[in-house]
Structure 1
Amino acid sequence: MEYPVCLIENHDDGTIQVNKKALEILSRFTQKVVVVGIVGKYRTGKSYLMNKLAGHKNGFSLGSTVQSMTKGIWMWCVPHPVKRDHTLVLLDTEGLGDVEKGNSQNDSWIFALAVLLSSTLVFNSIGTIDQQAMDQIHYVTELTEKIKVKASEQQSEFHDDSGEFKRFFPSFVWCVRDFNLKLELNGKDITEDEYLKNALKLKTGMSPAVRNYNFPRECLLHYFHSHKCFVFDRPASKADLQNLDNVAESQLDHAFVQQTKRFCQYIYEKSPVKSLSGGFTMTGRSFGDIAASYVESIRSGSIPSMENAVVALAKIENSRAVNEASSKYDELMSQHVSKFPTETQDEFLNLDKECHTEALNVFMNNSFKDENHEYQYKLIDELVIKKAKYQQQNEQASEIKCRGLLQELSAEMEKRIREGKYSVPGGYKQFIEEKKSLEADYLRVKGKGVKSLEVLQQFLKEKESVESTILMADKTLQETEKKMAEQNAKREAEARAREIVEKKNMELQKNIANQQESYDMHVKMLEKKMSEEREKIKEENNWLIKEKLKEQEEMMKGGFKTQCQMLEDEIRGLRQQQQENKREPSSLMEEIITTFLPGTLGRIVKKVLL
């Protein structure tokens, strides 16, 4: 993208909607995305930092007045400077607290969407991290009202699932602009991160004032899975600040320039790929789909549910996975159509197997949460239908080639039949010899394909009446010889018919064996995918348990018994989930084979027979 576009439009009446042009742009990005969103009070220099991350001086509107320039959420997709084959998606949000809006709920939704969409959230503020700064980030305290983890209303009402937010939420970076204090605490130098950690320390006590003081800090500590701080000197004089996008870097404060570079390098190296619970990493198009899902929930008046959004995204991605896998099969098989007919059925089945394997790999790499295996069923059905189509094309190519060959080989015989050359004494013997010679020549030719016997049988059957007429007209043969010749011709025809039936039965068995191999491959790949997904969930749960244990340790040090007990309950629930996930993969696969794919092979065989 050469310049940013609006991703989420914020209208004057307080409604929001996704910009279709932005979704169309995102649909073209199939690389994994790292999504960095920035929030903060308006006119605090958010757009400047985002332009620097994009590697450009201009792009996101900076503005130079007290009026907020950015409306809604703007997006800029650029190649990731560090991670190869990744796209960096930058989200510049409308400034919070704009007096012209007169709608604080609108600010809350913008903040909530920035949290939901980002893999790293940057909060931008001016001055210091004091209570006033905490008051500016009060939107974080409203997140439990704006976002649900689970889809179930009952669970949301009676069960506090806010402990799960850390599993879904982005990493958190606080940028403090125009910072003019010494990084010093109790007479000792401290780092920026220690400055933030100290600012987020909780107070003991249960008074309303203490609870109000602690609440935003608890939300920041418990919802976001990492915390980083950068402080920035004032970049330039007031006059230059009003025209910052046109000021040369050499005219900016040297410390500010270096601080900005450190910030950008950290974001490039540490910002994770945007992912969903369970380890599904997002591409540009899936990012656009989930953004549309969240906005649609807000527009309908409901609270966005991360679980519902994942389910909706799974439907889109799995449908897309089926289409892309099916298209992959078509793409690969169509490369072989010009080489049809295949010499043997085995050759065709090997082609099908190769193409089916590649198609299934595409499906497995792009599908997720196909929990009822509905989409894998669809893929199986589609590939069976497509295989039958290409098999028919292969057979038609064989028929055309065989008929053309027989027409060429029988041209002289047909001429003699028309001229009555066989309707003479001894003509029958000549006809039979030439027919057998033609048949031998036909069988010696390679590359006729799978219908060679059937076409030959049909050709010979068409000549039976001619052969009978020639036989009856041959005066050199006795009646007994004619009857014997008729019987020989009948036996040969029956033998050819039996050979064709045997060949068809053998081909059917090979077809069934081929489908059994495909079935086994589906089960094997499914088993591998489920094992990988279970491992990701296990790793995610282990990470979350460690994070909660760290939180609990900090709460113990501060003497916060109530919070410690709440964290203990969360940790116990997570460990219980781990125990439930320890079911043996073999027992899971037994369940799949008996409940997921029963009758699948039978349905395939029925289609083959039809």
Structure 2
Amino acid sequence: MDVVSAPSVQTWGDAGAAGHRGAGKVLRCECGGGRGGSIPPPRPPRSSLTRLRAQDDIHNDAWIFTLALLLSSTLVYNSMRTDSRTMLGSLCFLTDLKNYVRVRAQVDGTEPADEFARVFPDFVWVVRDFRLQEGDRPISADEYLDQILRPQLRFTLLNYQGNKQVQQCLRSFFPHHKMFMLERPAADRDLAQLELLREDQLQPRFRQQEEAFCQHIWKEAPVKMLLNSSPVTGRMLACLVETYMAAISAGSVPCVESVHTAVTEAENIAAVEAAVAEYRRGMKQNLVLPTASFSALMAVHQDWKKRAITLFLSQVVDKTEQHHQALLMDKLEVAKEEFCRRNEEASEQRCWAVLRELWLDMELRMQRGDYVAPGETRLFLKDLKRMQEEYKRRPDKGVKAEAVLEKFLRVKGLEMTEMWLDRVDQQCKAVLAEARAATQAVVKQLEEHQQQQVVEMSKMWMAKEMVELKVCFLEKQQKEMLAEVTAAKKVVEKQLEEQQQQQQQVMMAEVTAVKKAMEKQLEEQQQVMMAEVTAVKKAMEKQLEEQQQQQQKVMLAEVTAAKKAVEKQLEEQQQQVTLAKLTAGREAAEAQLEEQQQQVMLAEVTAVMKAMEKQLEERWQQWAQQLQEEQSLVLSQRLEELEVRLQEGHGREAAALQQVELMQEEEQTVPSWRSTLLKVLDKVVVPILIRVVNSMVNNAA
């Protein structure tokens, strides 16, 4: 038997990429005699016809036939000339076909025949060395096939049931039937060397039949499809063969649904891998690392992402399936992140190389110690700024230019800080050494000073004993002096009280006189301002009356003119109206005009009066404010003069009062005997001693 399969037009490239250009190499079955090859037919481009040839074997006949059904889109069954009963008997294994293949993975009971019809190929029956003729009339191959598939009454009872089941299987499993008859290709004497004959040496009738058969295969043979209506490619056909053979070798019944699902999954995964490989190849070829910006990388990414998706959609088996599309998106995202990482690494390498090159000069100056000397920080900052500007001018640094520069500055800043800290540490050590030497000198001086203080303290103790003796002598004199001071204090307090009373009376009289004078002056100013306000108010009222009279005259003139115009117009338009109606209309118009004029005049007069009142109120407030400011100014000046007089006239009394208050505070406080003794020595005893010494000196003289 021969099997013919036409893979999908759209997947020719995939089959070639996988090494099976339309199953171009021979596929050998392990269960019997099966081999295949690729024939380029006159079909549309990117298509191929795969021919699988199977040889019968009594041990593997059923499995070989099952594989032929599952792998082909058109089954060509060869048989030699014989009668119809024998021809049907040779296909008896069709009745047990359900024991060798399952369509669905999970089926309750027996699967219906239409399920098998969905996956089985078209059936083409080729009968060789046979001439069709019914009586004296020749019949066609299709008519003969219809006779074979119809129940025959001449079948024996023994063969009737078997042939009937074969007929039913042929009709239910293979909805499309076709039969071709091939006569002998050459004469009997040439059959032994048939392979050596040329095309023109074959029988013309045979060549016509062969051409009809080939044309039917080229034009009518359908494309092999999966259960999801996806065309089978050469690579998918090879995968189907391997999967079916694995199931048969394992001793299980092949399941079409499971095998097709596995092939679809493998093809979809292969499409994902091919799309990702295409994306990586395109990115490597078109992406120059590092890119100037992230957007440049994303532009290349978007371009090759679209191409990868297009390639995936052209190779994927089921375009409505979302799982592998999501898997593709995830892998493309991972690949994009990898290229982003590579871009960042390339950018970092480039930036670090530029920074190391620009840092060489500054590093040499650092080694020489140019930046460590006092006051050289500005030079370091100037060189650092120049280096940054040169770094920014360098091209092709990529997306990590700023980050690498910041990291570099941070690292070098730490290095400079450590260098400066080392320098400061050395300076601190030198300063500490000097400080230790100075401390030792100071300690030595303190020891010498302490010795001097001990000598001086001994002298002070001796002086202290002398002072204590003198204090005992002066305590008596202090009591006498305190009595004299108390009497003098009372006299001074009495005199100060009398002077304060007199001064208060004089000041009260002066303040009362000033207050009266200010009140009188304020009353006079208020009267003057009220007179001015009254005069301004009268002037404004007079001005308002004049304006009102002028406005009334103008308005009366306007009203008279309007009245005359209205009368003239009424006379022209209502000449045919009676005199009574004309008079009534004129009176109504005059009354209406007068009312309107009065309302307008009243409104204008009211507005003018309000404006004048507002202006008068504003002026009155300004005058009142000015008057208050002048009064406060005058009062403040008078009070300052009085304070100056009081200060000048009673400075001595104030000093005396302050001294008395101090003395009262000293009397109220109860100091310790040491503080009291010191105060007495300072204020009383020392002057007395001075006078005693002076008197002794005078007596001695």
TM-score, normalised to structure 2, is 0.52
Partner of 2:342: helix, strand, or coil? Answer: helix
* 1:292-345: CA deviation from partner (whole Å, max 9, x where unpaired): 2222222222222111211332343333333333322322222245x1011111
Which of 222, 234, 240 is equivalent to 1:272?
222
CA 1:203–1:428 in structure 2 vs 1: closer, same or farther (change >3 Å)?
same
Residue 487 of structure 1: aligned partner: none
- The within-5 A match list for 1:178-327 is 178-182=129-133, 190-202=139-151, 211-327=161-277
Residue 496 of structure 1: aligned partner: none
Which of 86, 109, 116 is equivalent to 1:165?
116
The residue identity in structure 2 corresponding to 1:383 is L
Deviates more, 1:297-306 or 1:195-204: 195-204
CA 1:263–1:332 in structure 2 vs 1: closer, same or farther (change >3 Å)?
same
Cα deviation for residue 386 of structure 1 reads 2.8
CA RMSD after TM alignment:
3.7
* 1:173-210: CA deviation from partner (whole Å, max 9, x where unpaired): 1112112233x69x876543333234323469999865
Residue 403 of structure 1: aligned partner: 352
Partner of 2:60: helix, strand, or coil? Answer: helix
User: Would the aligned equivalents of 2:132 and 2:140 in 1 still touch at CA under 8 Å?
Assistant: no
Partner of 1:76: helix, strand, or coil? Answer: strand
User: Would the aligned equivalents of 2:92 and 2:163 in 1 still touch at CA under 8 Å?
Assistant: no
- Computing the radius of gyration from Cα coordinates, the structure with the larger value is 2
The residue identity in structure 2 corresponding to 1:290 is L
User: Would the aligned equivalents of 2:117 and 2:173 in 1 still touch at CA under 8 Å?
Assistant: yes
Question: Of Structure 1 and Structure 2, which has the larger fraction of its residues in helix?
Answer: 2
* 1:224-275: CA deviation from partner (whole Å, max 9, x where unpaired): 2422222111111234223321222232212112221221222122222222
Residue 420 of structure 1: aligned partner: 369
* Pair 1:135-2:84 in alignment: no
CA 1:465–1:138 in structure 2 vs 1: closer, same or farther (change >3 Å)?
closer
Cα deviation for residue 381 of structure 1 reads 4.3
Which of 60, 65, 68 is equivalent to 1:114?
68
User: Would the aligned equivalents of 1:144 and 1:162 in 2 still touch at CA under 8 Å?
Assistant: no
User: Would the aligned equivalents of 2:79 and 2:128 in 1 still touch at CA under 8 Å?
Assistant: yes
Cα distance in 2 for residues equivalent to 1:458 and 1:114: 70
User: Would the aligned equivalents of 1:73 and 1:94 in 2 still touch at CA under 8 Å?
Assistant: yes
CA 1:91–1:468 in structure 2 vs 1: closer, same or farther (change >3 Å)?
closer
The residue identity in structure 1 corresponding to 2:332 is L
CA 1:235–1:414 in structure 2 vs 1: closer, same or farther (change >3 Å)?
same
Deviates more, 1:143-152 or 1:207-216: 207-216
Partner of 1:410: helix, strand, or coil? Answer: helix
Residue 351 of structure 1: aligned partner: 300
User: Would the aligned equivalents of 2:125 and 2:178 in 1 still touch at CA under 8 Å?
Assistant: yes
* Pair 1:436-2:390 in alignment: no
Cα deviation for residue 166 of structure 1 reads 1.7
Cα distance in 1 for residues equivalent to 2:346 and 2:279: 20
User: Would the aligned equivalents of 1:26 and 1:287 in 2 still touch at CA under 8 Å?
Assistant: no
* 1:125-145: CA deviation from partner (whole Å, max 9, x where unpaired): 222662221112223233222
Q: Which of the pair has the greater relative contact order for Cα pairs under 8 Å at 6+ separation?
A: 1
User: Would the aligned equivalents of 1:32 and 1:282 in 2 still touch at CA under 8 Å?
Assistant: no
* Pair 1:464-2:425 in alignment: no
Cα distance in 2 for residues equivalent to 1:295 and 1:235: 36
Cα distance in 1 for residues equivalent to 2:82 and 2:247: 36
- The within-5 A match list for 1:595-606 is none
Cα deviation for residue 437 of structure 1 reads 2.6
Cα deviation for residue 451 of structure 1 reads 0.8
User: Would the aligned equivalents of 2:42 and 2:218 in 1 still touch at CA under 8 Å?
Assistant: yes
CA 1:373–1:205 in structure 2 vs 1: closer, same or farther (change >3 Å)?
farther
Which of 25, 35, 54 is equivalent to 1:93?
54
Partner of 1:433: helix, strand, or coil? Answer: helix
CA 1:267–1:357 in structure 2 vs 1: closer, same or farther (change >3 Å)?
same
Which of 371, 378, 399 is equivalent to 1:450?
399
Cα distance in 2 for residues equivalent to 1:209 and 1:315: 46
The residue identity in structure 1 corresponding to 2:194 is L
Cα distance in 1 for residues equivalent to 2:179 and 2:381: 97
* 1:408-455: CA deviation from partner (whole Å, max 9, x where unpaired): 333333333333344567633333233223222322333211111111
The residue identity in structure 2 corresponding to 1:77 is S
* 1:515-534: CA deviation from partner (whole Å, max 9, x where unpaired): xxxxxxxxxxxxxxxxxxxx
The residue identity in structure 2 corresponding to 1:399 is E
Cα distance in 1 for residues equivalent to 2:115 and 2:82: 30
CA 1:359–1:81 in structure 2 vs 1: closer, same or farther (change >3 Å)?
same
The residue identity in structure 1 corresponding to 2:294 is Q
Residue 38 of structure 1: aligned partner: none
The residue identity in structure 2 corresponding to 1:352 is H
Which of 325, 328, 340 is equivalent to 2:289?
340
The residue identity in structure 1 corresponding to 2:90 is Q
Residue 79 of structure 1: aligned partner: 40
* 1:471-497: CA deviation from partner (whole Å, max 9, x where unpaired): 9999xxxxxxxxxxxxxxxxxxxxxxx
Cα distance in 2 for residues equivalent to 1:331 and 1:431: 48
The residue identity in structure 1 corresponding to 2:223 is V
User: Would the aligned equivalents of 2:92 and 2:162 in 1 still touch at CA under 8 Å?
Assistant: no
Residue 340 of structure 2: aligned partner: 391
User: Would the aligned equivalents of 2:22 and 2:38 in 1 still touch at CA under 8 Å?
Assistant: no
Unaligned 5+ segments in structure 1 are: 1-24, 36-53, 61-69, 96-100, 475-610
Which of 73, 76, 79 is equivalent to 1:125?
79
Cα distance in 2 for residues equivalent to 1:468 and 1:353: 46
TM-score, normalised to structure 1, is 0.59
Cα distance in 1 for residues equivalent to 2:291 and 2:412: 28
Unaligned 5+ segments in structure 2 are: 1-14, 424-701
CA 1:237–1:204 in structure 2 vs 1: closer, same or farther (change >3 Å)?
closer
Cα deviation for residue 380 of structure 1 reads 4.4
Partner of 1:172: helix, strand, or coil? Answer: strand
User: Would the aligned equivalents of 1:149 and 1:162 in 2 still touch at CA under 8 Å?
Assistant: no
CA 1:465–1:231 in structure 2 vs 1: closer, same or farther (change >3 Å)?
closer
Partner of 1:415: helix, strand, or coil? Answer: helix
Cα deviation for residue 398 of structure 1 reads 0.1
User: Would the aligned equivalents of 2:151 and 2:164 in 1 still touch at CA under 8 Å?
Assistant: yes
User: Would the aligned equivalents of 1:129 and 1:199 in 2 still touch at CA under 8 Å?
Assistant: no
* 1:518-558: CA deviation from partner (whole Å, max 9, x where unpaired): xxxxxxxxxxxxxxxxxxxxxxxxxxxxxxxxxxxxxxxxx
User: Would the aligned equivalents of 1:26 and 1:288 in 2 still touch at CA under 8 Å?
Assistant: no
